[in-house]
Amino acid sequence: MRRLLAALIMMLFSASTLAENASEEKQASDELQWQIMFELALVHDPTILEVAELDSVWSFIGGGLYLDLSYKGFFIQTNRYRANTFAGEFGYQLIERENWGLDLVSKVYLPGFDPEAIQSYNKKKTPDFEKLNERNIGAGFALRYSHYTDKDLFTADLATLNPSFGNNSWLVDLYYSHLSIYQNWDIYTGAGLTYYSRDVVNYYVGVIPEESSENFAVYQPGDGFKAEAQVFGLYPLSKSWTLSLGVTQSYYSSSFNASPVGFRQNITQLKLGVRYVL
Amino acid sequence: MFCSRSLLISIALLTAFPGHAVPVTDIVETEQQVNKFSAMPATCITLRQGRKCFATVTINLELSKLGDYCIYQQGLSEPLRCWKNAVPKVLSFAFESSQKTVYTLKDERSQQIIAKTSVEVSWVHQTISRKRRWRIF
């Protein structure tokens, strides 16, 4: 972990120096730029936990407030998960060039869960589930490299989840998205690959001796990954409204799926909604 | 959570989709009686400023007498369609433009433009220079 932090700090200093040296090329805008969207959508958004059921009408209604804001290099932006309002991203732009950039980003990479709360909502009770400890959200800091053209975006995050998960918790998150324009439609196709370090997976899906029981054997699987594919479409309905629809298919490695806690290996998220753009 | 959803629904209802703008007909005063010459939709909406907008546009006409008429699109020398000794009522065509486009109705016998209408192009998101930050998806 120390080595990872040291590497991040080194990269940060290098990036800052690079940015200063090339300040004349930096295209950062100091002016305030913002965009706000409200969305109301029908969603199919199962959680990663098999035991958490989608058992009410509200489980299928999604949307929320999407905020994109930028000022003096700082930014808040919506993330790439279109099927839910998982979280936004807060960051600082270290370098911005014509086709690439380097940012320092803070975001949530994995949702947390509270076994006790899940049990209280579920009709079907799982014995000993309440013995599991609460899992913190996987929030962390990342150094993000982005490469972009008018129709393509590639990002690579090297992130530490140390504040949330502790120990040697880090991940590498790669994502590529391509924009295709068909008449008035914008169609985004994306693919992502996330590698989780051993301590991330052990903390999140593992079972430590203190949590173990007849139903939950001790489980410490080591590292893992997630692959995902995404298609998302937008269509203008009026000057302020757009139609949004999309599907995201995620696949988790067997280190997640083999956990006795019960994690889904394949997750399909669907969305059909309307957005109001301010 | 329920509050935020209710708020969203309220916002959605309060700002229900506006209809297409009312078509504008500019009828030139001549002895020809043009009661109606309008294009629908009057506004074509694209996602981003500067993009081409696509729509099937219908021009509705109400003329009071037989004649030789042609409909022209601004910037094109060839007419979209002509009628001989007829009272045209409707013309549908594929619209594709990134800017406001004017259509004119011409009396081919007198060579006079007797009516005008247009299709505006509007957009949801303005084009901004910082392309990577402003993802609209």
What's the rounded Cα separation, in Å, for the pair A204 and A189? 29
Contact between A61 and B18 using a beta-carbon 8 Å cutoff: no
The pLDDT score that the predictor gives to residue A81 is 56
Helix, strand, coil percentages for chain B (3-state, nearest 5): 10, 50, 40
Q: Are A93 and A72 in contact (CB under 8 A)?
A: no
Place of tokens 């972009």: A148
pTM of the model: 0.80
Domain B17-122: top CATH class: mainly beta
Residue B18: closest C-alpha in chain A: A238
pLDDT over 90, % of chain B: 65
What are the chain B neighbours of A27 within 8 Å (beta carbons)? 129-130
Residue A52 has pLDDT above 80, yes or no: no
- Local confidence band at B22 (pLDDT 50, 70, 90 cut-offs): low
Residue B29 has pLDDT above 50, yes or no: yes
pLDDT over 70, % of chain A: 82
Contact between A186 and B47 using a beta-carbon 8 Å cutoff: yes
What are the chain A neighbours of B18 within 8 Å (beta carbons)? 238-240
Q: Is A78 on the interface with B (CB under 8 A)?
A: yes
**Mean of per-residue pLDDT scores for chain B:** 80
Q: Which two tokens stand for residue B93?
A: 């065509």
Size of interface A-B (CB pairs under 8 A): 95
The pLDDT score that the predictor gives to residue A121 is 66
Q: Taking residues B110-114, what's their average pLDDT?
A: 92
Which range among A75-79, B35-39, B52-56, B98-102 shows the weakest confidence by mean pLDDT?
A75-79
| Chain-centroid distance, C-alpha A139 | 10
Find the length of chain B: 137
Residue B103 has pLDDT above 90, yes or no: yes
Residue A72 has pLDDT above 60, yes or no: yes
Of A146, A186, A240, Cβ closest to residue B137? A186
* Closest to A207 measured CA to CA, from A109, A133, A103, A101: A133
Q: Is A14 on the interface with B (CB under 8 A)?
A: no
Q: Is A56 on the interface with B (CB under 8 A)?
A: no
Contact between A186 and B136 using a beta-carbon 8 Å cutoff: yes
Higher pLDDT, A18 or B70: B70
What are the chain A neighbours of B129 within 8 Å (beta carbons)? 27, 29
CA-based nearest distance B25→chain A, Å: 22
Which range among A159-163, A174-178, A273-277, B40-44 shows the weakest confidence by mean pLDDT?
A159-163
CB contact set of A194 (below 8 Å; sequence gap of 6+) = A109, A171, A172, A173, A174, A225, A226, A227, A228
Domain boundaries, chain B: 17-122
Residue B30 has pLDDT above 90, yes or no: no
The tens digit of pLDDT for each residue in A221-237 reads 999 999 999 999 999 99
- Local confidence band at B128 (pLDDT 50, 70, 90 cut-offs): low
The pLDDT score that the predictor gives to residue A116 is 78
The pLDDT score that the predictor gives to residue A214 is 83
Of A33, A70, A188, Cβ closest to residue B137? A188
The pLDDT score that the predictor gives to residue A32 is 84
Q: Taking residues A183-196, what's their average pLDDT?
A: 95
Which residues of B sit within 8 Å Cβ distance of A?
A: 1-2, 4-5, 8-9, 11-12, 15, 17-18, 45-48, 51, 53-55, 122-125, 128-137
The pLDDT score that the predictor gives to residue A56 is 77
Q: What is the ipTM of this complex?
A: 0.77
- Local confidence band at A111 (pLDDT 50, 70, 90 cut-offs): confident
